[in-house]
């Protein structure tokens, strides 16, 4: 069992302001990828998860850092098997090339490059690519696909490892990685000299705090995520570190993933102003009224709604059980792991959790100990309802398992069960 260490902060990790205010508390939460064997059940990491709001910069965040050690070395989560995810990656590469007028041979670096599929899309558009990925399995998969990657976490010391013929980069890309960083300003400081000073573009995709609050997506609060941004707080964070927001509309929302704030930024003195799509941002002087997500009262109300939402989900599942109905889940990613833990649902409530990722099969979810099985299990034993935690892929899941519905089974998005209603 690893010897986990937790470092606690007293100031905002983005702007340094003292004493951010706590609005959510979850007791004894696990790490999302810490699946366990039957023998290891009960030995996994658990710690309280608190979420804070900084009135000074408008960012939500945790104020603790888990010393993950080798955790990401064994990380195996990837979405590239999904047609929806693959379409997104392809469109992101194509539109980046088009919008920022990249030329063949443009240098593209990805931080948290996974199995290399996103970089492969850029390569196929004509770019030269290099990834940075701490997981040895994902690095091996990336290299097998012809996409080179360095096995490491990216930091200031990593810059020296970038080959000279890959600098400066025209694009540095982070998809659902920036919000994992313990020191976002330190990262932005480290990456600034890596970018082409005139035409360099920083692409960042994070989970959108505005959608989290509107849809009660509390499953996105986890130990691995350090910050939660909406568009105005993202712009402020970039500006403090010498960047300017170019656009938050690089791809239309219908082409993005389920909860995606996707922004393109350039260096403050760069040339890309002409490519922006200027529009006033909520909360900025001379524009629309102050954004509700910049006000503490919004988070107070949200905290109360979250408790009601989790209680409602738990009551719903147990009502099904009381009526003799068997409930399973779909999606062993962070959304499934955290929702089960936050709602207090265990293997006594949810028969099993389906997932296409074979590396999870035969293991148990951390903290709640629900067995993870292949989706075909839904056709092998009687299940009445499947709660879909990977709700962004609902159409794919239903198409894949038409026979389950044909037999009378039902798929239900967890968002529908967690609905908080208007704030």
Domain assignment present for 19: no
Same domain, yes or no: 94 and 198: yes
Higher pLDDT, 256 or 273: 256
pLDDT at 271: 87
Tokens of 162: 């970038």
Residue 340 belongs to domain with CATH number: 3.40.50.720
Q: Is residue 234 part of a domain?
A: yes
On whether residue 6 sits in a domain, the answer given is no
Instruction: Kindly state whether residues 334 and 237 are assigned to the same domain.
Output: no
The confidence score (pLDDT) of residue 289 equals 61
Structure confidence by residue, pLDDT tens digits, 392-405: 889 999 999 999 99
The more confidently predicted of residues 159 and 94 is 94
- Predicted pLDDT of residue 82: 79
Per-residue pLDDT at 78:
65
- Average pLDDT value for residue range 60-77: 74
Alpha carbon distance 306, 336 (integer Å): 16
Q: Average of pLDDT values for 86-109?
A: 96
Residues 205-219: pLDDT tens digits? 999 999 999 999 999
**What is the domain-level CATH number for residue 177?**
3.40.50.150
Q: What percent of the chain has pLDDT over 90?
A: 80
> Whole-angstrom Cα distance, residue 160 to residue 283?
39
Residue 80 pLDDT: 66
Residue 120 tokens read as 């492969």
Find the farthest-apart pair of alpha carbons in the chain and give their distance in angstroms, rounded: 65
Query: Which structural domain range is residue 414 located in?
Result: 296-418
Q: What integer is the mean pLDDT of 300-313? A: 94
Q: Is 37 contained in some domain?
A: no
Domains held by the chain: number: 2
Q: What burial class does residue 274 get, using C-beta atoms within 10 Å of its C-beta: 0-12 exposed, 13-18 middle, 19+ buried?
A: exposed
Helix, strand, coil percentages (3-state) for the chain, rounded to 5, are 35, 20, 40
Q: Are residues 193 and 327 in the same domain?
A: no
* Neighbouring C-alpha atoms within 13 Å toward the C-beta of 145: 23
Question: How many Å apart are CA 325 and CA 319, to the nearest integer?
Answer: 9
Mean pLDDT for 365-373 is 98
Residues 243 and 320 in one domain: no
pLDDT at 77: 60
Domain identity same for 145 and 273 = yes
The pLDDT of residue 411 is 97
Cα distance from N-terminal residue to C-terminal residue, the chain: 42
pLDDT value of position 152: 86
Mean pLDDT of the region 373-389:
96
Whether pLDDT at 244 is above 70 = yes
Residues 113 and 254 in one domain: yes
Is position 38 within any domain?
no
This prediction has a pTM of 0.90
Q: Is 217 within the bounds of a domain?
A: yes
Between 76-80, 277-281, 317-321, the lowest mean confidence (pLDDT) is in 277-281
pLDDT at residue number 76: 58
pLDDT at res. 194: 94
Q: Which pLDDT does position 19 carry in this prediction?
A: 82
* Range with the poorest average pLDDT among 249-263, 269-283, 297-311, 348-362: 269-283
Which DSSP helix (H) or strand (E) runs through 140? helix 136-144
Q: Average pLDDT of 162-184? A: 94
Residue 50 within a domain: no
Asked if the model's pLDDT at residue 169 lies above 80, the reply is yes
Angle at 96 between CA 279 and CA 247, to 5 degrees: 15
Which whole number is the average pLDDT over 346-364?
Answer: 95
Per-residue confidence band for 3, with pLDDT thresholds at 50, 70 and 90: low
Average pLDDT of the chain is 90
Whether 85 shows a pLDDT value over 60: the answer reads: yes
Q: Are residues 264 and 362 in the same domain?
A: no
Whether 109 and 133 share a structural domain: yes
Domain boundary among 252, 281, 310: 281
pLDDT-derived band at 274 (thresholds 50, 70, 90) equals: very low
Is residue 121 within 8 Å of 89, Cβ to Cβ? yes
Same-domain status, 119 and 261: yes
423 in a structural domain: no
Same-domain status, 210 and 316 = no
Q: What is the pLDDT of residue 157?
A: 83
- Assign 1 to helix, strand or coil: coil
If you average pLDDT over residues 196-204, what whole number do you get? 96
Domain finish residue from 281, 304, 339? 281
Average pLDDT over residues 152-180: 91
* pLDDT tens digits for range 112-146: 999 999 999 999 999 999 999 988 889 999 999 99
| Claim to verify: residue 368 and residue 397 sit in the same structural domain | yes
Query: Do residues 73 and 153 make contact, with C-beta atoms less than 8 angstroms apart?
Result: no
Note the pLDDT of residue 277: 44
Do 265 and 330 share a domain, yes or no? Answer: no
pLDDT at 35: 95
Confidence of residue 69 (pLDDT cuts 50, 70, 90): low
Domain limit, last residue, from 281, 316, 334:
281
């Amino acid at each position: 069992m690893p010897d986990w260490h937790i470092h606690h902060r007293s100031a905002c990790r983005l702007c340094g302001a003292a004493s951010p205010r706590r609005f959510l508390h979850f007791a004894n939460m696990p790490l999302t990828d810490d699946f366990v064997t039957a023998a290891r059940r009960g030995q996994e990491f658990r710690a309280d998860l608190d979420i804070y709001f900084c009135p000074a910069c408008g960012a939500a965040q945790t104020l603790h850092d888990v010393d993950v050690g080798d955790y990401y070395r064994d990380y195996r989560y990837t979405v590239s098997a999904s047609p929806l995810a693959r379409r997104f990656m392809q469109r992101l590469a194509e539109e980046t090339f088009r919008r920022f007028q990249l030329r063949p041979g443009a240098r593209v670096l990805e931080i948290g490059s996974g199995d290399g599929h996103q970089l492969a899309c850029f390569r196929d558009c004509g770019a030269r690519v290099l990834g940075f990925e701490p997981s040895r399995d994902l690095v091996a998969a990336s290299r097998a696909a012809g996409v080179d990657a360095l096995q490491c976490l990216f930091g200031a010391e990593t810059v020296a490892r970038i080959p000279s013929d890959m600098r400066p980069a025209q694009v540095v890309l982070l998809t659902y990685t920036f919000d994992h960083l313990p020191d976002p300003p330190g990262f932005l400081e480290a990456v600034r000299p890596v970018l082409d000073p005139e035409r360099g573009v920083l692409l960042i995709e994070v989970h959108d705090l505005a959608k989290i609050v509107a849809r009660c997506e509390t499953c996105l609060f986890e130990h691995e995520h350090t910050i939660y941004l909406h568009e105005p707080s993202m712009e402020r964070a970039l500006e403090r570190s010498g960047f300017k927001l170019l656009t938050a509309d690089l791809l239309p929302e219908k082409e993005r993933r389920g909860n995606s704030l996707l922004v393109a930024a350039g260096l403050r003195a760069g040339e890309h102003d002409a490519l922006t799509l200027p529009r006033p941002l909520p909360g900025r002087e001379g524009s629309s009224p102050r954004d509700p997500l910049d006000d503490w009262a919004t988070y107070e109300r949200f905290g109360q709604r979250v408790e009601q939402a989790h209680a409602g989900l738990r009551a719903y599942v147990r009502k099904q059980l009381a009526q003799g109905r068997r409930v399973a889940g779909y999606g062993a990613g962070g959304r499934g792991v955290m929702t089960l833990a936050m709602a207090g649902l265990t293997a006594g409530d949810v028969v099993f959790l389906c997932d296409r990722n074979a590396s999870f099969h035969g293991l148990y979810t951390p903290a709640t100990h629900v067995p993870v099985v292949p989706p075909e299990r839904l056709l092998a034993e009687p299940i009445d309802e499947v709660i879909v935690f990977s709700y962004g892929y609902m159409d794919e899941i239903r198409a894949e398992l038409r026979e389950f519905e044909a037999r009378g089974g039902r798929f239900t998005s967890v968002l529908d069960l967690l609905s908080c209603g208007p704030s």
